[in-house]
């Protein structure tokens, strides 16, 4: 029997790339502007912190839809659902909690995991990771999917605790978060402009929180100001969210860089030292993906040929 026949195909799980708590916060930003009216998906993406309708932005909107908080409203448009509005503007605490519990059970992968770990309110991380790996899920999606599920299940258990001990005020329910890093904040959910910390194996890796300047199209990696190092989204802790804006955030530069500060709409995509007296900075306006990088490489190669001829 051939390897092709015996090897199990890799499954790419459909999962929300953020916890339910973060999803409610995000849809609230859209609802405050548009209520239940249709909104262009690009505008919706900007309201939740993205500069354009990129891969990560589409994943964020898909996460809101997977919880039943957004729905399709026409070509290129979306709309806040009645469930989302019932959560954001509940008549009483019980209505809010009931709708949050329904939203937590909406994603297909979450239902599968709850059936697998029936009777365990919040399964251990290693158990969820092992199950997803054995099911043949894409390795790059396993940890983010597990984190989103466990963060949401922790949130659900706190909601159920409120039900059994008497409902809290809506402000108290909204403040309930899921456990994540050493500081109790959840992992993942970072967008361009957010201040983040990086925690790996229980140790903070950054001397201070830094702003996100880049999020990969698959949403699994981020880069921060002043660094080219890729940071796994699953190890990112958002310390503070960037305010919604229509252009990528502007980051301050040292005094020596003031003459080359980005113009409006540009961000510093990378910087590096090429020699003792030679530095390079790349300022980008708009998206910078594999296609654009390929064109840039060809332009640099052409310039190299010109200089060699001279």
The CA distance from 173 to 175, in Å, is 5
Q: pTM score, two decimals?
A: 0.51
Same domain, 44 and 171: yes
Same domain, 64 and 111: yes
Residue 168 has pLDDT above 60, yes or no: no
For 246, other C-beta atoms within 10 Å of its C-beta total 10
Q: Give the range of the structural domain holding residue 280, as residue numbers without chain letter.
A: 255-309
Same domain, 219 and 127: no
Same domain, 150 and 209: no
Domain-located, residue 129: yes
Domain-located, residue 248: no
**Residue 148 CA: distances (Å) to CA of 30, 145, 220:** 21, 5, 13
Closest of 208, 279, 191, 284 to residue 242, by C-alpha: 191
Domain-located, residue 30: yes
The CA distance from 257 to 261, in Å, is 6
Number of domains in the chain: 3
- The tens digit of pLDDT for each residue in 182-234 reads 455 677 888 888 888 888 766 778 878 888 888 887 778 888 887 777 888 88
Domain-located, residue 203: yes
The CA distance from 173 to 158, in Å, is 9
Same domain, 230 and 259: no
Quote the pLDDT of residue 40. 94
Query: Residue 290 has which token pair?
Result: 């594999």
The CA distance from 183 to 283, in Å, is 34
Domain-located, residue 101: yes
Domain-located, residue 146: yes
Domain-located, residue 181: no
Same domain, 158 and 297: no
- What is the mean predicted confidence (pLDDT) over 127-134? 91
Same domain, 80 and 112: yes
Domain-located, residue 208: yes
Question: 108-145: b or e for each residue (b if 16 or more CB lie within 10 Å)?
Answer: ebbeebbeebeeeebbeeeebbebbeeeebeeebbbbb
């Amino acid at each position: 029997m051939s390897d092709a026949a015996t090897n199990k195909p890799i499954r790419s799980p459909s999962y929300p790339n953020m916890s339910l708590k973060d999803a409610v916060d995000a849809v609230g930003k859209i609802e405050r502007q548009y209520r239940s009216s249709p909104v262009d998906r690009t505008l919706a993406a900007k309201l939740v912190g993205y500069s354009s309708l990129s891969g990560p932005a589409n994943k964020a909107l898909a996460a809101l839809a997977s919880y039943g908080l957004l729905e399709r409203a026409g070509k290129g448009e979306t709309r806040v659902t009645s469930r989302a509005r019932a959560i954001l503007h509940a008549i009483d605490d019980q209505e809010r909690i009931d709708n949050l519990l329904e939203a937590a059970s909406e994603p297909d992968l979450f239902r599968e995991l709850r059936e697998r770990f029936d009777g365990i309110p919040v399964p251990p991380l290693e158990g969820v990771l092992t199950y997803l790996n054995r099911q043949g899920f894409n390795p790059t999606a396993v940890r983010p999917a597990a984190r989103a599920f466990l963060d949401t299940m922790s949130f659900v258990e706190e909601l159920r605790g409120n039900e059994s001990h008497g409902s809290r005020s809506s402000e108290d329910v909204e403040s309930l978060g899921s456990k994540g890093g050493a500081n109790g904040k959840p992992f993942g959910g970072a967008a361009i402009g957010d201040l983040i910390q990086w925690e790996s194996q229980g140790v903070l890796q950054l001397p201070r929180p830094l702003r996100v300047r880049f999020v990969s199209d698959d949403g699994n990696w981020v880069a921060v100001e002043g660094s080219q190092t890729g940071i796994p989204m699953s190890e990112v802790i958002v310390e503070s969210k960037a305010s919604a804006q229509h252009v990528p955030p502007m980051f301050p530069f040292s005094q020596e860089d003031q003459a080359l500060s980005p113009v409006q709409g540009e961000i510093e995509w990378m910087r590096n030292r090429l020699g003792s007296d030679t530095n390079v900075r790349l300022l980008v306006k708009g998206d910078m993906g594999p296609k654009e990088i390929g064109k840039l490489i060809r332009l640099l190669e052409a310039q190299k040929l010109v200089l060699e001829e001279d």
